[in-house]
């Protein structure tokens, strides 16, 4: 086990906003920094274009009274563009007066977060894009049969645009420049606009199976350039793809279906999936450049990835490469903790600011029933695992939505009160500035995610859909070994799931880290699935971790081939490969970490499966403990206290105190956000006090 290695903590490598030139608004330390003023991202969505203009003021006031400091809205290209090719920003339809809406928000003391697309979805017909653009064959993404890729979204199926299409990019550029002309005078410090988002849920419009798209000529041209850059010469491509007959770059065609039968055959398919990541990166980068140029002033730019994003070709980190931060959307159904945990942990380690640009409060009608308390549960759970900002989507009700805490006429609904309490607590505790410390990290190898994706056996029934249902990556993959000892694509993710279940039950906090994201500061143990095939960069990072004194658990194989199936120099990796799926290894490792290594379990909760998640301030002082009962049923949870303390439920104001433990009643599935307080000195006995 090599416990001595555990004594040297890893050097800190924390994700942070990329350094920018001196500017008025930057994202940093969990918040927007506005010339010394800190503005956390507690925001709420109000669609000015759908809310009667006469209701704007009341709705914004209600939003502010909810405890939100920022209003968010999409800006729909398809509604602002008029049939004659012009744009209406309120001259004809007063509901489209974006500048007036921004001014009103500023007058009421709210900051403004705008999302101009070009794609916005927003449950608008054709996702807010103009019909003329979608109907233009030059703009359409193409399937392998050369036909447009159609998304059957209500209330009308439509052909989706191509991320690669030069014409679509040209049209988008024109829209973004038009938008910028309206907004530039309103940017901070001249106005209240402090945050912008480019595009929306860049996920190939949910037609994201590896072979769904894009076979547009511009995409194929970009694919050839990608392969050329990746492999260098045509000779290399011939050898690595086993395509001896390939005569020129122009003859290189992307794969149209998964047809690999051996390891060598995988290279071409993995490349296709990596290319799709670069395609999204490039498309977003293009939009970022346009906006930065057109705005002429620094304003943080962000993006959001949809539910099921782990099955996409692009990672959070990759998307963030040209942006200030990337967030994830939360629309979980029911009360399952695990999907919220996994999603938030990945986000917390990868994003410069882990926030939810859309935390679903309510939903579109076709999402099925959702109760008010479910949305609150999702918000609490996400905060428990490290979410530091959220946009309540929707805060104000509107067409094709149900369940917002503020009605369409601007009046608060009864569901608003718990949100007001939560937001009040988040503000008072400066929750955006707290941190959840971990010493154990589990790595999600990106190359295995790509392998699971290309071997997905259900075609257009996207792996994304199965991810939404809570299945691990690879659950839908082919049961083929391709000459390896195991079917890697189906094996690696359940191994991590098993570890997480054990660590959670043991009360050991952990991080979940995409392999292209940095390890959290203080990581002492890293668990990394490795098989014969492994990305060379990842293996080098693992080696660096070991060299710096960290303990690495890897296996079941020592990597011997890199991502293009070229031999890998045998890495030392601090010891032998192990069967990470062996329950005995898992149990023994955890015993050792709790024993000699003395990994921290602050505010340990019992009985399992109840567990806690602790958030500390910059001085390491615990400020908030989340207590989570993931299973149905009532339990009296015991929380170990480092000294005499009181835990206050920020929603109910119940107090639970003790010298060494506090007893907290939990109804599951449920989550309590407990403020850590000094014990009250008055004579009234707190609820849940020790006998």
Partner 1 sequence: MISDDIYFGGFDAESWSTLLGLLGLGRREARGAIVIVERDDGTAAAALHTLTGAIACEDYSGRQALDALCARHDAERALVIKLGAPETLTERLTHELPRDADYFTQWLAMLGVLRAGQREGLWTIHPARRPLPLPRPATVSAALDRVLPDGHAWLVCIWEGDQLCTAAALRRMHGCIDMLVGPDAILDWTGPLGGDFRRDHRALAGAVRRALAPLHMGVFAQRSTLEALLANPAPGAWAAAIAVRDVIIDPAPPYVAVAAGADVARAAVQRARDLFGDLELLSLVEPTASFLRRQIGSLGSVTETLGFNPLQVLAERLSRRD
Q: Beta partners for 679?
A: none
CB of 42 to partner 1, least distance (A): 21
Q: Can residue 54 be called a binding residue for partner 1 (CB under 8 A)? A: no
Q: Write out the binding residues for partner 1, residues 154-173 only, by CB under 8 A.
A: 154-157
Q: Cβ closer to partner 1: 483 or 685?
A: 483
CB of 670 to partner 1, least distance (A): 18
Nearest Cα to Cα of residue 98 among 180, 198, 221, 215: 180
Q: Are 75 and 115 in contact (CB under 8 A)?
A: yes
Q: Can residue 407 be called a binding residue for partner 1 (CB under 8 A)? A: yes
Stretch that binds partner 1, among 6-14, 64-72, 145-153, 670-678 (CB under 8 A): 145-153
CA dist., res. 14 & res. 444, Å (int): 18
The footprint of partner 1 on this chain (CB under 8 A) covers a number of residues equal to 57
Cα-to-chain-centroid distance, residue 34:
25
CB of 123 to partner 1, least distance (A): 9
Q: Can residue 485 be called a binding residue for partner 1 (CB under 8 A)? A: no
Instruction: Give the residue, chosen from 12, 91, 428, 469, that forms a contact with partner 1 under the rule CB under 8 A.
Output: 469
Stretch that binds partner 1, among 91-99, 393-401, 587-595, 605-613 (CB under 8 A): 393-401
Stretch that binds partner 1, among 35-43, 94-102, 296-304, 469-477 (CB under 8 A): 469-477
Q: Can residue 631 be called a binding residue for partner 1 (CB under 8 A)? A: no
Nearest Cα to Cα of residue 201 among 285, 352, 319: 319
Q: Cβ closer to partner 1: 20 or 371?
A: 371
Q: Can residue 483 be called a binding residue for partner 1 (CB under 8 A)? A: no
Instruction: Give the residue, chosen from 251, 461, 618, 631, that forms a contact with partner 1 under the rule CB under 8 A.
Output: 461
Instruction: Give the residue, chosen from 212, 218, 541, 675, that forms a contact with partner 1 under the rule CB under 8 A.
Output: 212
Instruction: Give the residue, chosen from 165, 477, 551, 613, that forms a contact with partner 1 under the rule CB under 8 A.
Output: 477
CA dist., res. 387 & res. 347, Å (int): 8
Distances (CA, A) of 288 to 196, 206, 324, 377, 592: 10, 22, 10, 34, 48
Instruction: Give the residue, chosen from 1, 34, 478, 594, that forms a contact with partner 1 under the rule CB under 8 A.
Output: 478
Q: Write out the binding residues for partner 1, residues 108-127 only, by CB under 8 A.
A: 125
Q: Are 622 and 603 in contact (CB under 8 A)?
A: yes
Nearest Cα to Cα of residue 207 among 124, 313, 133, 125: 313
Beta-strand pair 645-649/661-677: antiparallel
| Packing angle, helices 217-231 and 263-295, rounded to 10 | 110
Q: Are 466 and 474 in contact (CB under 8 A)?
A: no
Q: Write out the binding residues for partner 1, residues 235-294 only, by CB under 8 A.
A: 257
Q: Can residue 320 be called a binding residue for partner 1 (CB under 8 A)? A: no
Q: Cβ closer to partner 1: 158 or 554?
A: 158
Q: Can residue 494 be called a binding residue for partner 1 (CB under 8 A)? A: yes
Q: Cβ closer to partner 1: 10 or 404?
A: 404
Phi–psi pair at 361, nearest 5 degrees: -110, 100
Stretch that binds partner 1, among 19-27, 218-226, 474-482, 501-509 (CB under 8 A): 474-482
Instruction: Give the residue, chosen from 19, 21, 145, 691, that forms a contact with partner 1 under the rule CB under 8 A.
Output: 145
Q: Are 297 and 274 in contact (CB under 8 A)?
A: no
Q: Can residue 132 be called a binding residue for partner 1 (CB under 8 A)? A: no
Instruction: Give the residue, chosen from 138, 400, 430, 437, that forms a contact with partner 1 under the rule CB under 8 A.
Output: 400
Instruction: Give the residue, chosen from 208, 218, 324, 372, that forms a contact with partner 1 under the rule CB under 8 A.
Output: 372
Instruction: Give the dihedral sign, CA 674/359/601/632.
Output: positive
Q: Beta partners for 553?
A: 527
CA dist., res. 65 & res. 417, Å (int): 10
Stretch that binds partner 1, among 138-146, 307-315, 640-648, 662-670 (CB under 8 A): 138-146
Peptide bond into 155 cis (omega under 30): yes
CA dist., res. 476 & res. 459, Å (int): 10
Q: Cβ closer to partner 1: 124 or 546?
A: 124
CA dist., res. 342 & res. 355, Å (int): 14
CB of 687 to partner 1, least distance (A): 28
Q: Are 18 and 352 in contact (CB under 8 A)?
A: yes
Q: Can residue 143 be called a binding residue for partner 1 (CB under 8 A)? A: yes
Phi-psi region of 396 (alpha: psi -120 to 50; beta: other; left: phi over 0): beta
Q: Cβ closer to partner 1: 326 or 395?
A: 395
CA dist., res. 327 & res. 350, Å (int): 10
CB of 525 to partner 1, least distance (A): 26
Q: Write out the binding residues for partner 1, residues 10-49 only, by CB under 8 A.
A: none
CA dist., res. 186 & res. 190, Å (int): 6
Q: Cβ closer to partner 1: 375 or 503?
A: 375
CA dist., res. 25 & res. 297, Å (int): 10
Instruction: Give the dihedral sign, CA 356/357/362/368.
Output: negative
Phi–psi pair at 302, nearest 5 degrees: -130, 175
Phi–psi pair at 389, nearest 5 degrees: -165, 155
Hey, what are 443's tokens?
């790595």
Q: Write out the binding residues for partner 1, residues 519-578 only, by CB under 8 A.
A: none
Stretch that binds partner 1, among 198-206, 367-375, 530-538, 566-574 (CB under 8 A): 367-375
Q: Cβ closer to partner 1: 444 or 508?
A: 444
Stretch that binds partner 1, among 15-23, 79-87, 287-295, 364-372 (CB under 8 A): 364-372
Residue 43 DSSP one-character state: E
Q: Cβ closer to partner 1: 327 or 472?
A: 472
Beta-strand pair 42-45/70-74: parallel
Q: Can residue 342 be called a binding residue for partner 1 (CB under 8 A)? A: no
The residues of the shown chain that bind partner 1, judged by CB under 8 A, are: 125, 143-145, 147-150, 152, 154-157, 211-212, 257, 334, 362, 365, 368-372, 375, 397-404, 407-409, 413, 415, 457-461, 466, 469-472, 474-480, 490, 494
């Amino acid at each position: 086990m090599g416990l001595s290695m555990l004594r040297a903590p890893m050097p800190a490598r924390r994700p942070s906003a990329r350094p920018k030139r001196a500017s008025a608004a930057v994202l940093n330390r969990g918040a927007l920094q506005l010339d010394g003023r800190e503005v956390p991202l507690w925001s709420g969505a109000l669609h000015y274009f759908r809310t009667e203009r006469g209701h704007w003021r009341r709705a914004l006031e209600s939003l502010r009274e909810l405890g939100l400091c920022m209003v968010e809205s999409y800006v729909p290209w398809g509604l602002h563009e008029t049939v004659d090719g012009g744009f209406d920003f309120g001259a004809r339809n007063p509901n489209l007066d974006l500048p007036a809406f921004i001014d009103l928000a500023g007058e009421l003391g709210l900051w403004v977060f705008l999302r101009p697309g070009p794609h916005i979805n927003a449950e608008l017909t054709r996702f807010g894009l103009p019909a003329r653009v979608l109907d233009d064959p030059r703009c359409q993404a193409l399937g392998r049969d050369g036909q447009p890729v159609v998304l059957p979204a209500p209330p009308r199926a439509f052909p989706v645009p191509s991320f690669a299409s030069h014409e679509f990019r040209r049209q988008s550029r024109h829209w973004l420049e038009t938008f910028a002309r309206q907004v530039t005078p309103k940017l901070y410090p001249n106005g209240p606009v402090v945050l912008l988002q480019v595009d929306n849920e860049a996920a190939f419009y949910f037609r994201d199976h590896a072979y769904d798209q894009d076979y547009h000529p511009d995409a194929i041209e970009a694919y050839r350039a990608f392969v050329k850059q990746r492999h260098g010469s045509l000779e290399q491509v011939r050898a690595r793809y086993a395509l001896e007959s390939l005569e020129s770059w122009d003859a290189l065609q992307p794969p149209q279906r998964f047809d690999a039968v051996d390891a060598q055959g995988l290279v071409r398919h993995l490349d296709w999936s990596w290319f799709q990541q670069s395609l999204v990166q490039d498309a977003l980068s293009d939009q970022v450049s346009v906006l930065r140029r057109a705005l002429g002033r620094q304003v943080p730019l962000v993006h959001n990835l949809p539910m099921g994003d782990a099955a996409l070709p692009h990672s959070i980190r990759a998307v963030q490469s040209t942006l200030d931060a990337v967030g994830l959307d939360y629309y979980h159904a029911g009360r399952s903790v695990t999907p919220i945990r996994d999603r938030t942990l990945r986000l917390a380690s990868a994003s410069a600011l882990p926030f939810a640009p859309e935390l679903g409060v309510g939903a579109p009608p076709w999402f099925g029933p959702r109760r008010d308390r479910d949305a609150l549960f999702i918000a609490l759970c996400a905060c428990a695992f490290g979410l530091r900002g959220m946009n309540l989507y929707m805060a104000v009700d509107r067409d094709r939505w149900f369940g917002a805490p503020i009605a369409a006429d601007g009046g608060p609904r009864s569901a608003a009160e718990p949100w007001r309490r939560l937001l009040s607590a988040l503000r008072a505790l400066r929750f955006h500035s707290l941190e959840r410390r971990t010493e154990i990290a589990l790595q999600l190898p990106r190359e295995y995610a790509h392998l699971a994706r290309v071997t997905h056996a259900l075609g257009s029934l996207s792996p994304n859909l199965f991810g939404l249902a809570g299945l691990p990556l690879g659950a839908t993959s082919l049961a083929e070994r391709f000459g390896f000892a195991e079917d890697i694509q189906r094996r690696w993710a359940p191994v991590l799931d098993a570890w997480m279940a054990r660590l959670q039950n043991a009360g050991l906090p952990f991080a979940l880290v995409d392999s292209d994201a940095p390890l959290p500061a203080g990581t002492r143990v890293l668990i990394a699935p490795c098989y014969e095939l492994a990305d060379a960069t990842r293996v080098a990072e693992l080696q660096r971790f070991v060299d710096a004194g960290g303990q690495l658990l890897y296996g079941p194989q020592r990597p011997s081939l890199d991502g293009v199936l070229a031999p890998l120099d045998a890495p030392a990796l601090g010891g032998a490969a192990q069967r990470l799926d062996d329950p005995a290894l898992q149990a023994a490792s955890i015993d050792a970490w709790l024993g000699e290594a003395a990994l921290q379990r602050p505010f340990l909760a019992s009985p399992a499966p109840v567990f806690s998640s602790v958030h500390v301030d910059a001085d390491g002082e615990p400020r908030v403990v989340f207590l989570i009962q993931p299973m149905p049923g009532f339990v009296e949870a015991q929380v170990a206290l480092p000294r005499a303390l009181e835990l206050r439920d920020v929603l109910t104001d119940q107090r639970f105190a003790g010298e060494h433990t506090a007893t907290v009643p939990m109804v599951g599935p449920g989550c309590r956000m407990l403020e850590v307080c000094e014990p009250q000195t008055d004579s009234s006995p707190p609820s849940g006090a020790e006998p």
